[in-house]
Structure 1
Amino acid sequence: MDFKSLEAAIWVDRLGSFKAAAEALRMTQPAVSARIFQLEEMLGAQIFYRSGKRVSLTPVGVTLIDYAEQILGLRETAIAKIKGHNEEHGIIRIGAMETAVHTWLPSLMCAISEKYQHVAVDFDVNVSDEIQRKVLKGMLDIGFYIGATNSPMLTETHLCDFEMALICPAHLISEQGGRVDLKALPPMPIMTFSRNTVPHAILGSLLSREGIVHHRVCAMNSVPTIIDMLCKGVGLALLPVEVIRHHLEQGVLRIMDIGLRLPAMECVAGRLVKHGSNVVEDIVALAVESIERTRGNASSPILPSG
């Protein structure tokens, strides 16, 4: 039973498939399968149930993973103590949703690079639910996501609120603005983030409350793609105002006055309560400063009243 085989088993469990584990470990899928097979041969028992492309732990697998995490944790502790490890010369794993990537995250990255010149940052751009899951699993050191989980396992710091608005191409409404009745508009797609996100839930609630069924909700996980389609007149979109600030200032896109202020999205920084890293806490503080600096340098577009 070697470290690499145990590590392979842990990553298969964390990511739910041999293919995903192979990508995370930068190995081939057959190599990961071979390591798991060797473990099962040695133990004389099956570690994973296989069902199509997904896998899940058997009772033996649950026990193995528990011990494997302890073993690999002790290995890292031993290496750190023996080598006199300094966390300011390591890797910080950060997960962030796309809204942060397209607003204040570049400023934070500059601040980290300036203060911690020997720290490498691995970024994982993902939806909030997935970021939360990876932070809880110990796969990320810090997660920037929407909506506090209030989990006892996490420390969560409020970072900012992202104002939400329904956006349209400039030609759809007059420059003078005015109230827009969604029911009166011809059927068109309304784009927003993936189905397991807060914006998608906000949009679904809005349309349901207004009894609107003729507009199609299209889920996408790429901010640039949504904006590009908006600019090409494909339809409408529910987006954080900050990500289209430049397009608003240029007059390419406009905020629709639908008669109400949509709920803002709260962005938080989450990390494990027991992470024990001063660098992690300092990066959260740098994130707060970066947001204040970024927003202080930008002119705030005026949202329609309602």
Structure 2
Amino acid sequence: MDTQSLQAFIAVADTASFSLAGEQLHLTQPAVSKRIATLEHQTGARLFDRINRRVSLTEAGRLLLPRARQILQLVEDSRRTMSNLSGSVEGSLTLATSHHVGLHRLPPILKAFTQRYPGVDLDLRFLDSEQAYHGVVAGEIELAVVTLSPHPNPQVESVPVWIDQLRFVAAPEHPLTTRGELPLSTLVNYPAVLPGPLTFTRDIVVGSFNRAGLAIDVALSTNYLETLKMMAGIGLGWSVLPESMIDEEIAVLPVSHPPIERRLGYLVHKERTLSNAGRAMIAELEGARVAPVA
């Protein structure tokens, strides 16, 4: 099996489309079809069903897909290992980051990195932390700088770099701002605006209430903290935001609860051979790492 045919197979499987796979690989649709036909001849099995313009994996295709990803990952690791022998920091680095981390934490690190290593072709992808996490697990992303999962995958090394202190906030005119010290039980009587239900930050916040036997009334949700701040600031509900985002547009609520924390940091797959560029980026991140409190 040649790697080009495997790349085409994975692209068609991921997009469920020969034309979209061609766009992804910068190939014509006939070229993609030819590579799939070559792979089907090599494997002796039909890999895709094409019914009413709908493309789906056959049983053989479903069996081949994880193995195809592993083969390409091994080839890439071998290439990277050989390239690393030169000691030069160059080539491509696929780096994923969440919007909040990418906007508020990463810029000075990226600036220093690009100035120090101009030979690196940085493929920077802005993704939700959860998407970036899955990309690292699947081997599609070399390094991710995101909100770390409270329940990390054993295949992934999760290294905290920063600690976000999360504060309960609301619009300055919200009824809760006129109260004295607030227990968590008072907050559940008012609607909240929180990150989406499948996000790590939502899990961290909701978990704090669940441990107290409380359920939150979530009126609205979004994965963008800047949008959450706007919604809380105009009175759509109370929310939870990092201290770094709090200004005069929002009021901090005096909640009698230990600060809720979330860890921000980098992810790498434990079995992946990192490129010299990936190692150099980790060195930059380690330089910014906040020492744990004794």
SS at match of 1:170: coil
CA distance in 2, matches of 1:159, 1:32: 45
SS at match of 2:167: strand
Counterpart in the other structure of 2:266: 269
The answer for unaligned runs of 5 or more in structure 2 is none
2:2 aligned with 1:5, yes or no?
no
Residue 135 of structure 1 deviates from its aligned partner by: 0.9
Counterpart in the other structure of 1:192: 194
Whether the 8 Å contact between 1:94 and 1:121 is mirrored in structure 2 is yes
Whether the 8 Å contact between 2:142 and 2:269 is mirrored in structure 1 is yes
* Percent of pairs with identical residues: 14
Whether the 8 Å contact between 2:150 and 2:204 is mirrored in structure 1 is no
CA distance in 1, matches of 2:280, 2:2: 36
Counterpart in the other structure of 2:107: 106
CA distance in 1, matches of 2:19, 2:184: 42
Counterpart in the other structure of 2:279: 281
TM-score, length of structure 2 as denominator length: 0.75
SS at match of 1:102: helix
SS at match of 2:226: helix
CA distance in 2, matches of 1:189, 1:26: 46
Counterpart in the other structure of 1:22: 21
CA distance in 1, matches of 2:188, 2:214: 15
Deviates more, 1:52-61 or 1:143-152: 52-61
2:165 aligned with 1:163, yes or no?
yes
Whether the 8 Å contact between 1:192 and 1:226 is mirrored in structure 2 is yes
Whether the 8 Å contact between 1:135 and 1:141 is mirrored in structure 2 is yes
CA distance in 2, matches of 1:201, 1:20: 38
Counterpart in the other structure of 2:59: 58
Within 5 Å, which residues of 2 pair with 1:76-91?
77=78, 88-91=89-92
Counterpart in the other structure of 1:255: 252
Counterpart in the other structure of 1:301: none
Deviates more, 1:115-124 or 1:147-156: 147-156
TM-score, length of structure 1 as denominator length: 0.72
Residue 269 of structure 1 deviates from its aligned partner by: 1.4
Question: Structure 1 138/57 Cα, relative in aligned 2: closer, same or farther at 3 Å?
Answer: farther
Residue 142 of structure 1 deviates from its aligned partner by: 0.8
CA distance in 2, matches of 1:31, 1:272: 35
Deviations 1:131-160 (A, max 9, x none): 222112221111123136655533332212
Residue 163 of structure 1 deviates from its aligned partner by: 1.1
Which amino acid is the alignment partner of residue 123 of structure 1? L
Aligned residues: 284
Which amino acid is the alignment partner of residue 193 of structure 2? M
Question: Structure 1 18/178 Cα, relative in aligned 2: closer, same or farther at 3 Å?
Answer: farther
SS at match of 2:93: strand
Residue 167 of structure 1 deviates from its aligned partner by: 1.6
Whether the 8 Å contact between 1:144 and 1:268 is mirrored in structure 2 is yes
